Amino acid sequence: MLMDDAHVFGPEFHVLTFHEAISAKPEPLLTDYQVVVIGVTDREAKAWAERATLVRIPARRGSNLARRGSPDPVETPDRRPPLHAAQDSQTQRGDLRSDHCAGSGDARTAQGFTTDARTLAAQIGLAKAMQKYDLRKLITFHSSVAKAARFVDATRRDSLPGVIPHLTRSARPSGKLWTKHISGHTPVGQRATLLKGLGHLPEDTRGILSNCACLGEGVDVPVLDGVAFIDPKRSMVDIIQAVGRVIRKAAGKPLGTIVIPVFIDESED
């Protein structure tokens, strides 16, 4: 419900913009922030995929990959053990059966989900941002519960924990990685435990908490280094709520970071 109807809610008493809150003197009311857009091309995604034997990139007619004769997309092999033993990821079956956000567009088989170039590009882009800007506590936002769950599922080679070990040292974040997923199916007590866990990570550990929509508003989220929009968001309210998570003040936090991984199809202008 909008509250801009003066006949119902009365006139505005005071207006304080984000810019004014960040620039307030002598003490800012909010932390300044930066938007980091990490581009990953289809050529780069294909190279990583072939190196790690993770996926084969779907080829569209007229694309660079199609002209090079790239095969059709195939299922990611899940028979190999997880590559990152430090991971601790939770994926509930109920999460994969239910979708609290519109349009998951995922195809599930007995072997697992297929992985496309855009998902792989998002994983590579986020890992690069974590390494370059030393991000240690993040929340990722996805377009479906299923996508959010598998993004951090350490038992899958096509998840972020499965991809990171294959990145070069310059693109790979250091330390251990703690990954969890929250959805509307997560019990209240467990949700509180996961949020607390993200806020109290060991010094040598980076944490990622994935979700579709349940961490946007009305939830007590601990101090964050950044948020990442893995899938496009079109709701201005959702975007503002998510950004609000990372601009909260905290001791020793000079800047909040908003990460937007972008897949670049080199065949398109």
Tell me, letter by letter, the H, E, C secondary structure of the chain.
Answer: CCCCCHHHHCCCCCCCCHHHHHHCCCCCCCCCEEEEEEEEEHHHHHHHHHHHCCCCCCCCCCCHHHHCCCCCCCECCCCCCCCCCCCCCCCCHHHHHCCCCCCCCCCEECCEEECCHHHHHHHHHHHHHHHHCCCCEEEEECCCHHHHHHHCCCCCCCCHHHHHHHCCCCCCCCCEEEEEECCCCCCHHHHHHHHHHHHCCCCCEEEEEEECCCCCCCCCCCCCCEEEECCCCCCHHHHHHHHHHHCCCCCCCCCEEEEEEEEECCCCC
Chunked mean pLDDT (size 10), the chain, 269 residues: 82 90 92 91 75 50 38 33 35 34 37 62 93 95 94 91 89 94 92 92 95 78 87 84 86 89 76
Instruction: Give the CATH number for residue 190.
Output: 3.40.50.300
Q: Is residue 16 part of a domain?
A: no
Instruction: Say what the pLDDT of residue 218 is.
Output: 64
Residue 8 lies in a domain: no
Question: Is residue 26 in some structural domain?
Answer: no
Q: What is the pLDDT of residue 83?
A: 33
Residue 93 resides in a domain: yes
| Structural domain contains residue 232 | yes
- pLDDT digits 0-9 by tens, 134-160: 999 999 999 999 999 999 999 988 899
Domain limits for position 156: 32-264
Whether the full predicted model's pTM is greater than 0.85, yes or no, is: no
Please give the tally of structural domains in the chain. 1
Asked if residue 10 is part of any domain, the answer here is no
* pLDDT score of 65: 34
Domain annotation covers residue 6: no
Q: Is residue 20 part of a domain?
A: no
